[in-house]
Amino acid sequence: MYLDNAYLFQGMREETRKKILEAATEESYAQRDFLFHQGDPASNLYILIEGRVRISVGPQELLAHVASDPGDVTGWSSLMENNSYTASAECLVPVKVLKIANSHLDQILQQDPESGMIFFKRLAALIGRRLVKCYKATLSVQGDREPRSYG
């Protein structure tokens, strides 16, 4: 099952994971295709099956993250009540993903609050890890010239 590798879905009830899998569609994208662009309406979550996806931000498309492991998730802006994606997701090689509409995912998780809590705790941990990586990247570029507070 594709969700077995996805960190966000580990520890959830099997029945809920099955419902999520049933609500998702498998899609394929070619190299250089975009799953979404920064500013597009944020309506789907993408779970990587195979390939590599470059997540970039800003007009100069600065690299923020590369999703390359089966189960990696991108498009979580759609779950954070953002109206639009905060980054772009470009396929570096041919890519297969599971795509699930955030409205379907919300509905499924509301039916199983315990699994929903697990999911959102894991999402918070994922966002936190990416944020720490960004802090480290900022420090490596700017140096540690003055004390800063990051959280």
Look at residue 145 in the predicted model and tell me its pLDDT.
57
What is the gyration radius of the CA atoms in the chain, in angstroms? 16
Distance CA 52, CA 69 (A): 8
Look at residue 88 in the predicted model and tell me its pLDDT.
93
Does residue 71 contact residue 112 with C-beta atoms inside 8 Å? no
Look at residue 132 in the predicted model and tell me its pLDDT.
78
Q: Which CATH architecture has domain 2-138?
A: Sandwich (2.60)
Handedness of CA 55, 58, 61, 64 (dihedral sign): negative
Domain locations along the chain = 2-138
**pLDDT 10s digit of each residue in the chain, 151 long?**
677 778 889 999 999 999 999 999 999 999 999 999 999 999 999 999 999 999 988 777 666 778 888 888 899 887 877 789 989 999 999 999 999 999 999 999 999 999 999 999 998 998 888 777 766 766 666 665 555 555 5
